[in-house]
Amino acid sequence: MNMKNETGCEEQFRKEKAKARKLRQSQWWKNKVAEGTCHYCGGRFDPADLTLDHIVPIARGGKSTKSNAVPSCKQCNSTKKYYTPAELILRDKMGKDVTF
């Protein structure tokens, strides 16, 4: 990858992170976390203990939109890392990390 592409990727990443910060301030997001439910494990948590998780991670081309953002407990968010949900299923079934 050349420097121009790397700079473009970094810029896109910064833009998506900024959109995520704005999304976290929206009433829509406040209502989502007020429900107190983790999208992945279904556990009940104090809203302050839920984080915004991108279903398709920004690093993998995901966007900071309502359709790609879900509340997640810190444990699930840490476990998910940069994987997509499909990759998590494959990882769990195969018993090892998967790469594409």
In a domain, 99, yes or no: no
Q: What is the pLDDT of residues 1-41, one digit of tens each?
A: 444 556 778 999 999 999 999 999 999 999 999 999 999 99
With a CB cutoff of 8 Å and minimum separation 6, the contacts of 26 are none
Q: How many domains does the chain have?
A: 1
In a domain, 62, yes or no: yes
User: pTM for the whole thing?
Assistant: 0.83
pLDDT at 86: 87
Q: Is 16 exposed, middle or buried (0-12, 13-18, 19+ CB in 10 A)?
A: buried
* Cross-strand bridge partners of residue 54: 69
Q: Domain span at residue 51?
A: 3-94
In the predicted model, what is the mean pLDDT of the chain?
90
